[in-house]
Chains A and B, each alone.
Chain A
Amino acid sequence: MLGLIGFKLIIMKLTLKIWRQSSPSEKGKFETYTLDNVSEHMSFLEMLDVLNEKLSFEQKIPIAFEHDCREGICGTCSLVINGQPHGPLQGTTTCQLHMRNFRDGETIVIEPYRAAAFPVFKDLAVDRSALDRIIQAGGFVSVSTGQAQDANAIPIEKDIASQAFDAATCIGCGACVAACPNSSAMLFTSAKVAHLALLPQGKVEAQKRVLNMVRQMDLENFGNCSNITACEAECPKGISVANIALMNREFLSASFSSKDA
């Protein structure tokens, strides 16, 4: 593929069916838009920028969607594109998805994440603050500034550190919840539980942490896990469902042995 060199730049015509909803209480609906000069090099969000600029010119209200870093790491962008959170490309956030993954003449359906715990604010923007509250319930090590010992005081096996890293790489975008038919937040919660439980620094509070985080997850109206694993398939960072198994183990053992259970 010659891409940048641009022997022949592909320009596409697209039909977009986009969810519009002016407020949380209003009943939303799909609106249809067309764009006829979408370059294959545009990112998906740049395509929406172009549409919004066009709507602005026509003195219409642009579509609200959330985004920030546009390099796949902040977790702000979301969207369900043709039924898939973050669109068709595996391991990719919406902001890193480029239009060359679509065909000329295609109709693309764009809607917000759908989950009871993620109410829609406006158009494609949803409230994901439930995820923050799960972290606040215990997704940390209780160490205040200044209390730390020397960084090399506790050696950590390279493979363990690497496994913890794989879990810690979660960007908190909520795609796992949107992908799950039960709207479960197990993948998100377990990624933090696993990250900290694997490391010696996180072990001290491990039991209390898992109990509190799971309790909060249930309070926030997320569904249960029924091992469908759509979460892993749609996760832009490839977080493994093995973390869920680890969390279940941690939870069970804490339920039996912890005073906090």
Chain B
Amino acid sequence: MQMDNLNLNGNVPVGNLSEKWTKYRSTLPLVAPNNKRKIEIIVVGSGLAGASAAATLGELGYLVKCYTFHDSPRRAHSIAAQGGINAAKNYRNDGDSVFRLFYDTIKGGDYRSREANVYRLAEVSTSIIDQAVAQGVPFAREYGGLLDNRSFGGVQVSRTFYARGQTGQQLLLGAYQSLSRQIALGNVEMFTRHEMIELVLKDGKARGIIARNLLTGELEKHGAHAVVLATGGYGNVFYLSTNAMNCNVTAAWRAVTKGAFMANPCFTQIHPTCIPQMGEYQSKLTLMSESLRNDGRVWVPANTEDAKAIREGRKTALDIPENDRDYFLERRYPAFGNLVPRDVASRAAKTACDEGKGIVPTGLGVFLDFSAAIERYGKSKANILGLSNPSKAMIIELGEKIVEEKYGNLFEMYEKISGENPYKLPMKIYPAVHYTMGGLWVDYNLMTNIPGLFSIGESNFSDHGANRLGASALMQGLADGYFVLPYTIGTFLSEDIRKPKIDINVPEFAEAANLAKQRIEKLFAIKGKQSAESFHRRLGKIIWEYCGMSRTAEGLTLARQQVRSLRDEFYADLYLPGIASDLNPELEKALRVADFIDLGEVMVVDALNRNESCGGHFREEYQTPDGEALRRDDDFAYVAAWEFKGWNEDPILHKEMLHFENVELKTRSYK
């Protein structure tokens, strides 16, 4: 890392944007095959980024050790991604190109990401599709046998490859199978049911981890020449999110406590189309794919009386006549309508509910209505069938069939969860936390400010700025794992070829293990009355209320106090059942909640520092007269990377200034 006072340098290679990666890749230091066999690499996480990196590093000949807290590497939450993966293949001949994908991603991220990283991402996107197809990933195809594409929010080309509504599953299984092959060959040693709970530094470099064996509770020491974190995002800081229940920030946060910087933690993505919360007991929220907004119209009743009647069960959506409905996205954003980007759609739904027009008992829900699409498709089908004067019932029957072909699995999932038939009644949706753009600060090599510690996939901050476009998360995870890290890790390792196997019998490992042991003992010693779950729920409420879809300086200041007092209460009144040397999910949860609390405070500090609105970060003080986000490029075109200084000091802000040489900074407009 090069640090000039508090300014960070991303180590971006010089030269033309379009040539940077090719030139850099061709000149960066390599590790010879005979030396690779002596170098160990730890990969924590086995999702798209982790599995693809572990498999590829294994293929290259490194000795890889891969860790997951799951019982199998195939369980990682990448598996739940529905919609698709972008690639600048231009198979549709619709004018797509590497530059266009780069430009859309930079713009979609509201100009808060690093140009060179995003360009590289767009550049390698095409190889990902090739690789996945060669692995046997069954992407959707056309009748000619060639790959199909669809379009996604915020762009004007069709560049999204998909595998029904299960693209993440199929891509992860492809990476998992490649990883399995390397495990069988002995190139990767797989540690399932192991959770990283401490990072080990020696002479300032990352040289290993302490992993808790989740079955026995044993704290194991694992050494390597470099450590790669592929541990996903921290969306569960909100308690309720579309993340899997076990997604957590602990591995990344343990690195932060050892000096790694957390970049832009306040940049979180709230996805507009999720099934609303139904009760206090609820454990997670379920996403309904963005693709539904292609045919669904979002609305609330135009007057609050009707909304109240619906909330109280005195009326249903069908009782509200057409001219008493407010299709607020179509009204506010006529150019993009229901297909505005995620941050814009989410905020608009919140505004409608804040005005008292929410349509579920909690007041937090809007309609996503397919009746117009059903009628349109039905009429068109009737035409094709040559039916003259078809009855309304016939049109609807035909239309429902077409909608079923397109979205059948999603409609079924909705009905299972809500108990309502979305063909007859509009869906009820509300925004929910879905993805975190912020993460560990990394340079162009994807190395954090700790030498030898790398971060890939959602766990780093690098490519999505303040808002991620649909179908870009899978692209980034696999780009990092298959095509970027395996090269760039050589810049660090090539200096380490003489370093023998890392000895774990040195004081640094013992100290780290001891630290972990003390943290666990401390939690058991509290012997209070409240469960880890209950603290998590309360933390989530604070963060959602004050650091969610809209934020104010006043609210964030209050939130920081509340998080701090929640932390005091946690360490005074936590009840932890069971023992440390056993399978103990409550202990796992408590350790994770403790780290979420510390992250939560830094998120709030970051949101408070960023006196502008951009992407997913909307500060009410900074908006245009018609309520749109007001970016302040002169003062905030930087990455905010936070150095954690413990509970009693403010975190220190390090800035990486963002330089835009290839795009012009514009106000995003979807009107």
Complex contact A135–B418 (CB within 8 A): no
Q: Hey, which chain A residues are within 8 Å of B281, CB to CB?
A: 39, 42, 46, 49-50
Partner of A129, one of B144, B147, B192: B192
What are the 5 closest A-B residue pairs judged by CB atoms, nearest first?
A155-B145, A3-B419, A140-B177, A148-B134, A148-B130
Query: Using Cβ atoms and an 8 Å threshold, which residues of chain A touch B575?
Result: 56, 59
Contact A155 B419 (CB under 8 A): no
Contact of A156 among B141, B180, B192, B282 (CB under 8 A): B141
Determine the chain B residues whose CB is within 8 A of the CB of A75 once the complex forms: 74-75
B80 adjacent to A144 (CB under 8 Å): no
- B146 close to A (CB within 8 Å): yes
Instruction: State whether A69 touches B135 (Cβ < 8 A).
Output: no
Residues of A within 8 A of B (CB): 1-7, 39-43, 45-46, 49-50, 53, 55-57, 59-62, 64, 66-76, 89, 92, 96, 98, 100, 121-122, 125, 127-129, 131-132, 135-137, 139-152, 155-158, 161-162, 164-165, 168-169, 171-172, 195-196, 199, 201-202
B76 cross-chain contacts in A, Cβ below 8 A: 74
| Residue among B146, B177, B313 with most chain A CB within 10 A | B177
Given contacts A5-B310, A202-B136, 8 further A-B contacts (CB under 8 A): A41-B278, A42-B281, A132-B74, A135-B180, A136-B180, A145-B59, A147-B134, A169-B166
Tell me which of B77, B130, B139, B145 contacts A150 (CB under 8 A).
B130
Verify if B283 is at the interface (C-beta below 8 Å from A). yes
B384 contacts the other chain (CB 8 A): no
Of residues 473 through 504 on chain B, the ones whose CB sits less than 8 Å from some CB of chain A are 482-483, 486
Task: Give the chain B neighbours of A147 by CB distance below 8 A.
Answer: 134
| B420 pairs with A2, CB closer than 8 A | yes
Nearest B residue (CB) for A47: B281
Q: Which of B170, B244, B482 contacts A74 (CB 8 A)?
A: B244
Partner of B79, one of A74, A122, A137, A140: A74
Residues A139 and B531 in contact in the complex (CB < 8 Å), given A56-B586, A152-B147:
no
Q: A141-B136, A155-B144, A158-B143 are in contact. Are A70 and B283 (CB under 8 A)?
A: yes
Asked whether B506 is an interface residue with its Cβ less than 8 Å from the other chain, the reply is no
Chain B positions 169 through 182: 1 when the CB is less than 8 Å from some CB of chain A, otherwise 0: 11001001110110
Secondary structure call for the A interface: loop
| Contact present for A169 and B169 (CB under 8 Å) | yes
Q: Report the separation of the CA atoms of residues A146 and B136 in the bound assembly, to the nearest whole angstrom.
A: 15
Query: A165's contact among B133, B138, B361, by CB below 8 Å, is which?
Result: B138
Q: Which of B89, B146, B278, B283 is within 8 Å of A49, CB to CB?
A: B283
Nearest chain B residue, comparing its CB with the CB of A22: B582
> Which of B127, B147, B281, B316 is packed against the most chain A CB atoms within 10 Å?
B281
Cross-chain pairs A/B with CB under 8 angstroms, 24 sampled = A4-B360, A5-B420, A39-B279, A56-B575, A60-B577, A62-B586, A69-B75, A70-B284, A71-B80, A71-B286, A74-B80, A76-B75, A92-B416, A96-B417, A129-B72, A139-B177, A143-B134, A143-B135, A145-B56, A148-B130, A155-B145, A157-B145, A169-B169, A201-B133
Q: Which residue of B lies closest to A7 (CB)?
A: B313
Query: B428 contacts the other chain (Cβ, under 8 Å)?
Result: yes
A161 vs B319: C-alpha distance in the bound complex, in angstroms? 44
Give the residues in chain B near A127, CB-CB below 8 Å: 71
Task: Give the nearest-CB partner of B286 in chain A.
Answer: A71
Q: How far is the CB of A245 from chain B (nearest CB, A)?
A: 20
Q: Tell whether, in the assembled complex, residue B283 and residue A145 are in contact, meaning their CB atoms are under 8 Å apart.
A: no
Does residue B184 face the partner (Cβ distance < 8 Å to A)?
A: yes
Q: Is B91 an interface residue (CB 8 A)?
A: yes
Once A74-B80, A161-B141 are accepted as A-B contacts, the answer to whether A140 and B180 lie under 8 Å apart by CB is yes
Collect the chain B residues with CB atoms within 8 Å of residue A148's CB.
127, 130-131, 133-134
Q: Collect the chain A residues with CB atoms within 8 Å of residue B245's CB.
A: 67-70
Q: Mark B548-562, 1 if CB is under 8 A from A, else 0.
A: 000000000000000
A147, B132: Cα distance in complex, Å: 11
Q: Are A98 and B127 in contact (CB under 8 A)?
A: no
Report chain A residues within 8 Å CB of B181.
Answer: 136, 140, 142
* Given contact pairs A140-B135, A143-B135, A158-B143, A53 touches B413 in the complex (Cβ within 8 A): no
A contact residues around B486 at 8 Å (CB): 145
B525 at the interface (CB under 8 A from A): no
Is B402 interfacial (CB-CB < 8 Å)? no
A131–B77 Cα distance when bound, in Å, is 19
Distance, CA A249 to CA B529, complexed state (A): 60
Question: Which residues of the partner chain A approach B420 to less than 8 Å between Cβ atoms?
Answer: 1-5
Q: Are A4 and B419 in contact (CB under 8 A)?
A: yes
B residues in contact with A129, CB < 8 Å: 71-72, 192
Minimum C-beta distance from B50 to chain A (A)? 14
CA distance in complex: A62, B59 (Å): 43
Residue of A nearest to B282 (CB): A46
B593 CB–A CB distance under 8 Å: no
B412, chain A: closest CB distance, angstroms: 8
Residues in chain B near residue A161, CB distance under 8 A: 138-141, 145
| Contact among B146, B180, B279 with A42 in the assembled complex (CB-CB below 8 Å) | B279
The complex places the Cα of A3 from the Cα of B313 at a distance, in Å, of 11
Chain B contacts with A in 31-51, Cβ cutoff 8 A: none
**Once the chains are docked, how many angstroms separate the CA of A148 from the CA of B130?**
6
- B300 interface residue (CB < 8 Å to A): no
Residues of B within 8 A of A70 (CB): 244-245, 283-284, 286
Q: Are A68 and B138 in contact (CB under 8 A)?
A: no
The reply to whether A66 and B71 form a contact with Cβ atoms under 8 Å apart is yes
Q: A45-B283, A59-B577, A172-B72 are in contact. Are A141 and B134 (CB under 8 A)?
A: yes
* Interface presence of B203 (CB below 8 A): no
Minimum CB distance partner of B360 in chain A: A4
- Which residue of the partner chain, among B143, B284, B419, B531, contacts A41 with CB atoms under 8 Å? B419
CA distance A10 to B286 in the complex (A): 22
User: What residue in chain B is nearest A127 (Cβ atoms)?
Assistant: B71
Asked if B578 is at the interface (CB within 8 A of a chain A CB), the reply is yes
List the A side residues contacting B428 at CB < 8 Å.
Answer: 4
With an 8 A cutoff between CB atoms, is B12 at the interface?
Answer: no
Say yes or no: is B129 at the interface (Cβ < 8 Å to chain A).
yes
**Chain A residues with Cβ under 8 A from B55's Cβ?**
145
A7 to B147: give the CA distance in the assembly, Å. 47
Beyond A74-B75, A168-B170, whether A137 also contacts B184 by CB under 8 A is yes
Q: Please report the C-alpha to C-alpha distance between residue A56 and residue B578 in the assembled complex, in whole angstroms.
A: 10
Q: Which residues does chain B contribute within 8 Å of A132, judged by CB atoms? A: 72-74, 180, 190, 192
Chain A residue numbers with a CB within 8 Å of B419 are 1-4, 40-41, 98, 100
Q: Which residue of the partner chain A has the closest CB to B419? A: A3
B583 within 8 A of A: yes
Q: How far is the CA of A143 from the CA of B56 in the complex (A)?
A: 10
A169: B residues at CB distance < 8 A:
166, 169
Contact in complex: B135, A4 (CB < 8 Å): no
- A68 engages B70 (CB within 8 Å): yes
CB of B593, distance to nearest CB on chain A (Å):
14
A1 to B417, CA, bound (A): 13
Query: Is there a chain A Cβ closer than 8 Å to B637's Cβ?
Result: no
Q: Is B627 an interface residue (CB 8 A)?
A: no
Known: A128-B72, A141-B177. Is A158-B145 also a contact (CB below 8 A)?
yes
Of B59, B72, B73, B242, which is in contact with the most chain A CB atoms at under 10 Å from its CB? B72
